[in-house]
Structure 1
């Protein structure tokens, strides 16, 4: 651990939650396109909306042996995808922001060799790690989300590859601001909040309990990070609460079986995605077609402190030993067993 780091806290890093609330916010619009698309009309819908998805070079060039291995993985091996997300409406042409914006969400999506399970591993955006040189950045220790600001998705992918040792088979960027449009598309949602939240942007306040929200209000709620328990971790929870409500509304209204309304939802979802230029959405649809929500596990990279003092400000100190073991399990396609053997502290 770095000198001067605070005492380690309880490892609040592992969660397993069934249901679409988690899957959608982590896979962003991808789950709507692939899962709803395949369920609602097969590969025809995937093809229909693939033209709405932005394409960009999100991954750095791979070494020849890694490129060949990735090709084999798409045929019959486990897959590892990088998912980046932002709740900003700023455009990300080429996988970078014109204003040097940082990515709000950094996740590894591991699809098991058997194509029947997936594990989504969140890397805290304030993790203090080695960020390789890129753009104006000369290289060195920094928060992991700074990589996106300095070198876009490609530098982020390089940083994640350096941190985890996991070769990447694809990459996507999801703009979570599209949730506002999805909320309005289902005529608003009812969100049940387990704690009090006060807006830092207006005089709105959400007391513990359930609240009706339109898209504008839901977006404001999801952007809160200062007056919520856990700061950024609380904001992620708020995003999950809204997404859970969207999916519940979709189910209640049977929208998957109403072509016109489903078309609107899938259009919004597709337009929120930027996909690596080499990622084939049909191949991805084939890879995840048998994965059900209950077969998706969620974990966060182990950490020992969320308040590490650094030149870049307060940061997250990862648990080096535990994180190294987790990443090895991903590479070996044994992450389910590793998570079972390493339950969260009570």
Structure 2
């Protein structure tokens, strides 16, 4: 759901956390899911995936691929780099074809790149308000719009087409993530400790997170991640906050060695599996193999470069992407050199 329909004044009742879902849960889920899946082909990973596979919803999330693209994707799963689309949605199960009710938008759009060597991954956030060319789909006739409008008009398939047009990166799989509540995941690891590089003041309560480290339970972590108006960088600061919580959850899972504690692992896998809708052609066992050697320090986070966060458009204020820098980033993804490109082009951090 867009912030235009949210309540920045903080007048919503406390139950709003239960009713909200999408980008917050999606990003957290992905980081933890990658690490959980990486836990263990050698330690029973196939059995665990089989056990929870029935909890994962299936839908057609990607448009039909040309024969040569399908063949290349099959080759990528065998020995090449992989690129997956992750969306966050307010709807638990999309309609056939991954379509969403008109008006529902995806608050998370991320490109997940898994290196050819299967030893590292990069999660690239595409700002949901990016002003891009959205191809025709549903009632939309095609043209410039915010990128998250693609989900409203044509579901996951149109979003995938839009992302491919923007990036030039072929997609090897797709997932939609949605949690019933972030508290279930964060509380399942007994809370997280998040280190904040700037002051954040809540617009929903009297909480203030001063620069430094803070213990957070599920409720507090979600409130922190939802801040936009009193965060350095606005929506980009919010993306940074998402990444901070992701890293904290992954670190907590590793510190507590939860991947090798059956009861705790059962809880985490159950939450992760129940939150996912997966493209019908994505084999979870193949995903296990692809990420089994990836560890917390092997996951990088980035945002598509931009030049303005307040571009005036017919669709309202939008994000103007940095065309040249973004093209370089996407070219690095295609050539499997994104980590080198990011090292050579360090990204500005909000509040930094």
Tell me if TM exceeds 0.5.
yes
TM-fit CA distance, 1:340: 4.0
Q: What is the aligned partner in structure 1 of residue 196 from structure 2?
A: 193
Are residues 1:130 and 2:133 paired? yes
| Equivalent residue runs for 1:1-346 within 5 Å | 25=28, 27-38=30-41, 40-86=43-89, 88=90, 90-94=91-95, 95-98=98-101, 100-175=103-178, 178-344=181-347
TM-score, normalising length from structure 1?
Answer: 0.83
Change beyond 3 A, Cα 1:232–1:40: farther
Greater relative contact order (CA < 8 Å, ≥ 6 in sequence): 1
Q: Secondary structure at the match of 1:142?
A: strand
Do the aligned partners of 2:312 and 2:318 also contact (CA within 8 Å) in 1? yes
Q: Secondary structure at the match of 1:36?
A: coil
TM-fit CA distance, 1:344: 4.6
Q: Secondary structure at the match of 1:80?
A: strand
Do the aligned partners of 2:174 and 2:279 also contact (CA within 8 Å) in 1? yes
Change beyond 3 A, Cα 1:189–1:39: farther
Do the aligned partners of 2:311 and 2:317 also contact (CA within 8 Å) in 1? yes
Identify unmatched segments of 5+ residues in structure 2. Answer: 1-25
Change beyond 3 A, Cα 1:293–1:67: same
Do the aligned partners of 1:58 and 1:172 also contact (CA within 8 Å) in 2? yes
Do the aligned partners of 1:40 and 1:256 also contact (CA within 8 Å) in 2? no
Do the aligned partners of 2:32 and 2:246 also contact (CA within 8 Å) in 1? no
Question: In structure 2, what is the Cα distance between the partners aligned to 1:291 and 1:247?
Answer: 12
Q: Deviations over 1:104-162 (max 9, x none)?
A: 22111222222223222221111110001111211110111111111111000000111
Do the aligned partners of 1:24 and 1:32 also contact (CA within 8 Å) in 2? no
Question: In structure 2, what is the Cα distance between the partners aligned to 1:342 and 1:206?
Answer: 29
TM-fit CA distance, 1:96: 4.0
Change beyond 3 A, Cα 1:166–1:193: closer
Question: In structure 2, what is the Cα distance between the partners aligned to 1:298 and 1:325?
Answer: 16
TM-fit CA distance, 1:196: 3.2
Give the paired residue count: 322
Question: In structure 1, what is the Cα distance between the partners aligned to 2:121 and 2:214?
Answer: 32
Change beyond 3 A, Cα 1:246–1:103: same
Judge which range, 103-112 or 26-35, deviates more: 26-35
Q: Secondary structure at the match of 2:312?
A: strand
Do the aligned partners of 1:124 and 1:301 also contact (CA within 8 Å) in 2? yes
Q: What is the aligned partner in structure 1 of residue 22 from structure 2?
A: none
Question: In structure 1, what is the Cα distance between the partners aligned to 2:320 and 2:240?
Answer: 21
Q: Deviations over 1:41-67 (max 9, x none)?
A: 322112222221111110011112111
Question: In structure 2, what is the Cα distance between the partners aligned to 1:75 and 1:118?
Answer: 16
Change beyond 3 A, Cα 1:246–1:177: farther
Identify unmatched segments of 5+ residues in structure 1. Answer: 1-22
Question: In structure 2, what is the Cα distance between the partners aligned to 1:291 and 1:325?
Answer: 25
Question: In structure 2, what is the Cα distance between the partners aligned to 1:46 and 1:287?
Answer: 13
TM-score, normalising length from structure 2?
Answer: 0.82
Question: In structure 1, what is the Cα distance between the partners aligned to 2:308 and 2:118?
Answer: 34
